[in-house]
Amino acid sequence: MKQSRFLSHAALLSSIMIWGASFIATRIAGSCFSPVLLGLIRFASSAGILGLIFLILRKPIRIDPRDYRAAAVSAVFGIAVYYSIENYGIALTSAGNAAIITSVYPIITILIGVLFFHDHVTIRQIIGIAAAVFGIAVLTLDPIGGGKEGAWVGSALMIANGINWGIYNYMIQSVHPETDSASLTLVQTVIATIASIPLLFLDMPLEIGVITPAILFSVLFLTLACSLGAYYLYNVGLRGVEAATAAALMNLMPVFGLFFSWSILHEPISLRQLCGAVIVIFGVVLGTVSLPEKNRTE
């Protein structure tokens, strides 16, 4: 039993670490591919690989007919649009700052639930929301993005993208238990690939740089490790721990993202940025740790 919990925690931490590194891989790959094109390549590759696995294993696609609407909405807004905006945001601001901002997404999900789904909010959640908002303000007031022009725009895009993240969570929560998770993922990636094609107009004119080994590795990492491997590890981990524990561990993702951006990309970390990160994570933990899990991952 103890070994099972240990393996579950190891699987969760591994998936969260991979997602934390995804911001760095996106920044590196983004130097060669435009934001929407990068997402399209990632989705199409993931769909192709997962589809091939289904064919080899002769695994049938099992989705409750009532869940196709949720699959389509979550794929369009929570995958295609979400990653297009995220890729633009990471291109404009620092990878570390983008990672920190995503930690406020559970709070945005709570607000969506209160405003549109009549969910109740506790005093603890209100305090957590206020703390997270204050932390984001501290972050965005810092001269982030390494002095890059448009860093404020990148941060604003990342914050607004939390709405798409919230939509994804509420759509997936409505999926019926008869639907197979792997089948749902396959259908989502196919729909996300199709939905990304018309979004390519945002990248016009399309520009593709020199594909170096680092670029190729980053794309493969986003496809194999982030889109396929990390989701598998996360699902394995969820079987052995409480949802609240997984939700709390998810708040380590921006910490990993900030660390990797500093150690790999050599992005500077200011004292204000560190303080903002601590405040944001404190607010998110305070507002979500006692709730049923509504978390979404990169």
Average pLDDT score, the chain: 82
Read off the tokens for 253: 């993702």
Backbone φ and ψ for 222, nearest 5 degrees, come out as: -65, -35
- What percent of the chain has pLDDT above 70? 85
Please state, in angstroms and rounded to a whole number, the distance separating the CA atoms of residues 270 and 257. 15
Q: What is the pLDDT of residues 134-177, one digit of tens each?
A: 877 776 665 545 455 567 888 889 989 989 988 887 887 787 87
Joined together, the tokens standing for residue 254 give 């921006």
51 and 182 Cβ atoms separated by less than 8 Å: no
pLDDT at 22 over 60: yes
Beta bridge partners of 208: 33
CB 165 within 8 A of CB 106: no
Instruction: Give the mean pLDDT of 282-296.
Output: 59
Which residues are bridge partners to 33 per DSSP? 208
pLDDT tens per residue, range 173-197: 787 878 888 888 899 999 999 999 9
Q: Tell me how far apart the alpha carbons of residues 131 and 287 are, in angstroms, rounded to a whole number.
A: 9
Cα 135 to Cα 289: distance, rounded to the nearest angstrom: 18
Q: How far apart are CA 42 and CA 31, in angstroms?
A: 15
